[in-house]
Amino acid sequence: MDATEIKQRVGYEAVDRTVRSGMKLGLGTGSTAVHAVRRVAELMERGTLTDILAVPTSFGTRIECQRLGIPLRDLNDPDIDGHLDLSIDGSDEVDPDRYLTKGGGGALLIEKLVEYNSDRLVVIVDESKMVSRLGERYPIPLEVVPAARRTLEKAVVRFGARPELRMAVKKSGPVYTDQGNVILDLYFNEAFDPVELERELNLFPGAVENGIFTKVRPMVIIGHSDGRIETLE
Ligand code: 5RP
């Protein structure tokens, strides 16, 4: 199976196995999560799923949901009341403790807000996302207010991180998140304690959120290139 087929397979699998009518759903961001979004829409159109309300984790996911006619809410809306039944999302890395890094698509802040406030999180990945330690292949994103960029670039060095301001591809200058912040991608040569680093990074003034997720134990659905689907929970 090629990469897109694997992403579609795990996206469909997650929805078919876990989404039920009447659920309040958090919908993730990225090239894998989009397949779960499309599956929800498909099952709603067939009438298999009814009374779904969804909270998107990014502007991009909001646009896709609107295109597909999935009813949207904010976490603050009274019929969501700050709490969801289930969220489905991709991940950049998953370690053996099922700790995650997210934010490759820059949506880490709302992803964490939505997913830490869901009864259950289902993470959908291909096998390349499984690592022995976080930071092995992808940097750890740290979303910061623009005014704090330089102080935080200096501050994170004490954790052994090499920070790089994330730059835009089809625009000159940095990436600005949906919330108008910038992202420092933190590269680590050595293993770190994910629980401690998730907490410590957010303590600096101007740090908004980081992409380490240790406070949820997700169900992880892994797609393999030979067509196998593996589940960790
Ligand atoms: C976006 C994310 C994504 O879920 C993560 O980057 C994985 O994306 P993809 O499925 O495209 O590899 O955290 O902020």
pLDDT per position as a tens digit, 22-49: 999 999 999 999 999 999 999 999 999 9
pLDDT of residue 109: 98
Active site members: 111
Candidates 7, 87, 102: which one to mutate for ligand 1, based on the most atoms within 8 Å of Cβ? 102
Q: Is the predicted pLDDT of residue 1 greater than 90, yes or no?
A: no
94-139 pLDDT tens trace: 999 999 999 999 999 999 999 999 999 999 999 999 999 999 999 9
Nearest to residue 51, comparing CAs of 27, 26, 14, 25?
A: 25
From ligand 1's centre to the CA of 109, what distance in Å? Answer: 13
CA-103 nearest atom, ligand 1? 14
CB 211 within 8 A of CB 202: no
- Rounded to an integer, what distance in angstroms lies between the CA atom of residue 137 and that of residue 133? 9
Candidates 92, 125, 175: which one to mutate for ligand 1, based on the most atoms within 8 Å of Cβ? 92
CA-90 nearest atom, ligand 1? 4
Q: Which residues contact 176 (CB under 8 A, 6 or more apart)?
A: 168, 182
134: burial class by Cβ within 10 Å (0-12, 13-18, 19+)? buried
Distances (CA, A) of 225 to 33, 94, 98, 136: 18, 17, 21, 21
The residues lining ligand 1, judged by C-beta closer than 6 Å to any ligand atom, are: 28-33, 89-92, 102-108, 111
pTM beyond cutoff 0.95: yes
52-77 pLDDT tens trace: 999 999 999 999 999 999 999 999 99
